[in-house]
Amino acid sequence: MKLQVLLFAHLKEKAGTRVAEVDVPSGASAAAVKARLGELYPALKPALGRILMAVNKEYVSDDTLISEGAEIALFPPVSGG
């Protein structure tokens, strides 16, 4: 299935695009989507272990299964006081 992944902050700059398109098997996990992004956009690879992924506006874990047509967004970790 083809997915569009919205990238925010420095992730967008590293990938050189705001919307990344990835092709993964149906029922792929969030971890599989991240791995595919790392293959397509090697500059993202170092950050992929720490990023936050939201699917349909809810944060998900790496084992969450992604359905076709899902809205996916990646955010760098945020810290603050």
- Token pair, residue 66, equals 């992604």
How far apart (Å, rounded) are the C-alpha atoms in residues 1 and 77? 27
**Predicted confidence (pLDDT) at residue 79 exceeds the cutoff of 70:** no
On average, the pLDDT of the chain sits at: 93
Give the integer Cα–Cα distance in Å for 30 and 24: 10
pTM: 0.90
- Rounded average pLDDT over 14-39: 96
User: Looking at the chain, how many residues does it have?
Assistant: 81
CB-based contacts of 34, cutoff 8 Å, min separation 6: 48, 51, 53, 62, 74
Q: Does residue 24 surpass a pLDDT of 70? A: yes
Mean pLDDT of 30-41: 96
Domains, the chain, ordered by start: 2-75 (3.10.20.30)
